[in-house]
């Protein structure tokens, strides 16, 4: 399929993921709480999986793209362009959120209150919503991203029920947020973390490498675990796959 269309789908899909998920946290977090934010992230994946997943495979996440490469389900030569498109989409969404949020009287960028990452950014230590340590956050992000890749690879496997793949993956992302919003404000997606850290201030930027590296490592480990334990011989064939994130 035309690369321009595929990259466009990744831009729009990641834009919607960040706008819906992070936007709900920044603009409506006080009203809907952690449960509402978790559902928002899941709903963005479900809706875009069915809207554009058939065009690009619906990665919307550099960690997913890397995991699919490691699993042999995506061509590595296309991975850098996909990752760049995802970051572009995420930053565009963050700009929209910033414009809307700044229209509220008294809104300030950066950290707000104690132990609360500002602008839906991710953090550990004094930037963790629950005050979780660096090690706790690192383990959570690696493990959750690894499990996310296992769900994605399983839900999009040749013998899976393809019609329910997007729903399954969206529910998995909701569950991941329910578990880890108090821990790290939930990344499992470097593009999402980059976009919000840009507006959250210097402290967020200092901690940002953790939320780039940990999800990428987790994505690769999840793919390795899938190939080693769960994948059938038919899953080793290179395919685009429908694998939203």
Go through the domains of the chain in sequence order and give each one's CATH number. Answer: 3-105+115-236 (1.20.1080.10)
Separation CA 46–CA 221 (nearest Å): 24
Residue pointed to by tokens 């995991």: 67
Per-residue model confidence (pLDDT) at position 244: 42
pLDDT digits (tens, 9 = 90+) for 13-22: 999 999 999 9
pLDDT number for residue 235: 65
Q: Where are the alpha helices (DSSP H) in 116-189?
A: 134-155, 165-184
Q: What is the pLDDT of residue 186?
A: 97
pLDDT of residue 236: 54
Enumerate residue ranges in the chain where pLDDT < 50.
113-116, 238-245
Distance CA 204, CA 176 (A): 21
Q: What angle do CA 85, 128, 89 make, to 5 degrees?
A: 10
Angle formed by the axes of helices 62-70 and 190-200, nearest 10°: 160
Residue 108 has what pLDDT?
Answer: 75
CA distance 20 to 136: 27
| pLDDT confidence of residue 201 | 86
In angstroms, rounded to a whole number, what is the distance separating the alpha carbons of residues 176 and 178?
5
CA distance 231 to 63: 19
Helix H segments across 57-78? 62-70
Count the neighbouring beta carbons within 10 Å of the beta carbon of residue 208: 21
Distance of CA 139 to the CA centre of its chain: 16
pLDDT attached to residue 238: 42
């Amino acid at each position: 399929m035309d690369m321009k269309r595929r990259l466009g789908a990744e831009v729009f899909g990641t834009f919607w993921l960040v706008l819906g998920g992070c936007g709900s946290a920044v603009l409506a977090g006080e009203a809907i709480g952690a449960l509402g934010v978790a559902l928002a992230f899941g709903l963005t994946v479900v809706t875009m999986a069915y809207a554009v997943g058939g065009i690009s495979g619906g990665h919307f996440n550099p960690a997913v793209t890397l995991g699919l490469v490691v699993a042999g389900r995506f061509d590595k030569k296309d991975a850098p362009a996909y990752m760049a498109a995802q970051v572009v989409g995420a930053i565009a969404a963050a700009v929209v959120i910033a414009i809307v949020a700044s229209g509220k009287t008294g809104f300030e960028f950066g950290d707000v209150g104690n132990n609360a990452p500002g602008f839906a950014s991710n953090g550990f230590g004094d930037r963790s919503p629950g005050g979780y340590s660096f090690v706790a956050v690192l383990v959570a992000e690696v493990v959750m991203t690894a499990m996310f890749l296992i769900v994605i690879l399983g839900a999009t496997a040749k013998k899976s029920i393809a019609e329910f793949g997007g729903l399954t993956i969206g529910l998995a992302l909701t569950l991941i947020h329910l578990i880890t919003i108090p821990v790290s404000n939930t990344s499992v997606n470097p593009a999402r973390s980059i976009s919000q850290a840009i507006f959250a201030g210097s402290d967020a930027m200092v901690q940002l490498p953790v939320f780039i590296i940990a999800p990428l490592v987790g994505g690769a480990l999840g793919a390795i675990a899938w190939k080693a334990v769960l994948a059938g011989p038919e899953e080793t064939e290179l395919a685009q796959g429908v694998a939203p994130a």
